[in-house]
A and B are shown apart, each in its own frame.
Chain A
Amino acid sequence: MTRKLAHDWYDGTVPDHVAFDDTNYIDTSYYFRRFRSSVKDALKLGRGASVYNNTVFDLGRNARVEIGAFAMVNGANVVCDDAIRIGDHTLISWNVVLMDTYRAPRTLIERRAYLEGILRGDAGAIKTRARPVVIGSNVWIGHDCVVLPGVSIGNGSVIGARSVIVESIPDFAVAAGNPARVIRQL
């Protein structure tokens, strides 16, 4: 598999730690400008999975992201230092933020040290806490949503546009709002 995308407008390549094949579609290697993970298969795309729009894979050194079969990521900002899993047939709309870490230590001294690290160009100098995010299969997330660290979204659920998911959502639920609440079951 060539690391150069045939249709790419950006002069770059797909990082070695991305596992994909001819059944996948990735619009451009620009999505990987913040990709720093050195884990084997740090990003794994299932059969027929696709990535479009203004997606960013902002992956820290030990991050793993898995995107299920036939899932469509249509412009998400994936901020990951540990693990984010997206199930099969899941549809993710534009400007969605999926984050397993705030990348901001809560104590003043650590926060300042962390910031100084980033500004020096050494993002890994201070560890920040991460809690895995699990998005089930057949989930549909509307545009401009935010999924916070440690949250899981059950299979078949639908998340309304501009919702902020602060706690886990069960299977086959419709949730909406900021903070999001379950408003009905499917």
Chain B
Amino acid sequence: MASQDVQLPPNVRLAQGARVTGLSNFKRFLSQQEGALSVGERSVADGVTFAVGAQGRVAIGRDCYLNECILLAEQEIRIGNYVMIGWNTTISDSDFHPLDPAERIKDAIALSPLGDHRARPHVTCRPVVIGDDVYIGPACTILKGITIGARAFVEPGSVVTRDVPDHARVRGNPAVTIKDDE
């Protein structure tokens, strides 16, 4: 495991034994919130990208292992205890741009070098909640507003567009529940 510790923003709270290591990326960590990122006891975030907006928060429970995944939080991403998340999985609580074409033109202009970022149209965010003992494989996508129930098993490469019940095993794009053969 790459283990060099990264330079952390001041509003990151690490509990005892928690580690943020590897090529962790805080380039898009813009949150001004107190305790914008909290990492529970013994949890490891190795090479995780934390793209957190000005109002965003990420809370990670204890005894979690996050491995080079990408967390995009404009509002809130809450991760329980004993959660595993694999390589290149993306979790976001926002779609980042409006669905409406006219609004999207305004957004593109506001984002441009000629625009004013404060003039961006409003985009609805909905928190993502991941329960205890959840496994999320590599290369998954978890969309905004999703709740993944405790002990769920998300197969590698899944695109999760609906809530996942407790104990369910899901796979595919869109992810659907499959029989648990183990």
Residues of A within 8 A of B (CB): 33-34, 56, 77, 79, 95, 97, 99, 102, 104, 106, 108, 111-112, 115-116, 118-119, 121, 144-146, 148, 162, 164, 166, 177-179
Contact = CB atoms under 8 A, between A and B. Distances in A.
A108 to B, nearest CB: 6
A115 B138 contact: no
A52 B171 CA distance: 29
A162 B42 CA distance: 33
B135 A102 contact: yes
Given A97-B138, A146-B157, A106 B182 contact: yes
B44 A146 contact: no
Given A95-B88, A99-B138, A116 B63 contact: yes
B151 A118 contact: no
B42 A119 contact: yes
B161 to A, nearest CB: 12
Contacts of B42: 116, 119
A148 B158 CA distance: 12
B1 A102 contact: no
Given A119-B65, A146-B157, A164-B172, A77 B88 contact: yes
B151 A108 contact: yes
B133 A104 contact: no
A97 B156 contact: yes
Interface in B130-181: 133, 135, 137-139, 151, 153, 155-159, 171-173
B171 A166 contact: yes
B102 interface: no
Contact of B82 (A79, A99, A115, A177): A115
Interface in B33-72: 42-44, 63-65
B33 to A, nearest CB: 26
B156 A99 contact: yes
Given A119-B44, A162-B157, 15 more contacts: A34-B1, A95-B88, A95-B139, A97-B88, A97-B138, A102-B137, A102-B156, A104-B84, A111-B82, A118-B44, A121-B1, A164-B139, A166-B171, A178-B171, A179-B171
User: Lowest 4 CB-CB distances: which A-B pairs, in order?
Assistant: A164-B157, A146-B157, A178-B173, A146-B156
17 contacts: A102-B137, A102-B156, A106-B182, A108-B151, A111-B135, A112-B63, A112-B82, A118-B44, A118-B65, A119-B65, A146-B138, A146-B139, A146-B156, A164-B158, A166-B155, A166-B171, A177-B173
B18 to A, nearest CB: 9
Nearest to A165: B157
B87 interface: yes
